Amino acid sequence: MAWIKNVARSYLEKRRAAKELYGTQHDLAVLRRRVSQVYKKPHSEQVKDTYIKTFNRLSKSYKKKLKSDTNYPLPTPLNNKFLKDIEAIQILSISDCQKFVDLALDIQNEKLKLYGPQISSFYTPMYAEGSLSLIEVSCLLILFFGIWGVYHLFVR
């Protein structure tokens, strides 16, 4: 019974990690599309100022998160390089926002290179909150056909 608990706990931890890493990458890709739409279409200065203020706050929080990331840390030289790159970006226009999002995607891709191979099968790109991964579907099918087989074996 303890073995089953360990397997379940390990599965849930890997599933959470996959959602966090791959989900963040997906969110950044969506953000990149939104920023490019704002960059391409003419908008009022108020909308652009709102984006710039938001990205200034986002860059500060992202820098803090990168410094204190204990769950998925990057190697120190790479982490320092990315921190310098984030500090070098002064967000004054929408194109600077695009640069920041591209840098954040690069950071996320590096994390996926380090931690992704162990957890890539635990992520489902479906956008529903209750989505099932391939492992969960196969376990449910095995359980269903196992119960169905036992039912037909003993009841018939």
- For 109-123, how does the pLDDT look when each residue is reduced to its tens digit (9 = 90+)? 888 888 776 665 555
Q: Which helix (H) or strand (E) holds 124?
A: none
- Both tokens of 145, joined, read 């056909």
What integer best gives the mean pLDDT of the chain?
80
- Encode pLDDT of 25-74 as tens digits: 788 888 888 888 887 877 778 888 888 888 889 888 888 888 888 777 88
CA 143 to chain centre: 30
DSSP states of 27-47: HHHHHHHHHHHHHHS---HHH
**What's the pLDDT band for 128 if we cut at 50, 70, 90?**
very low
Which residues, 6 or more positions from 131, have their beta carbon under 8 angstroms from its beta carbon?
Answer: 124
pTM of the model: 0.68
Which residues, 6 or more positions from 135, have their beta carbon under 8 angstroms from its beta carbon?
Answer: 11, 121, 122
CA distance linking residue 109 with residue 107, whole number of Å: 5
Query: Is pLDDT at 90 greater than 70 in this prediction?
Result: yes
Count of CB atoms within 10 A of residue 38's CB?
A: 17
Q: Which helix (H) or strand (E) holds 56?
A: helix 45-67
Percentage of the residues of the chain whose pLDDT score is greater than 90: 1
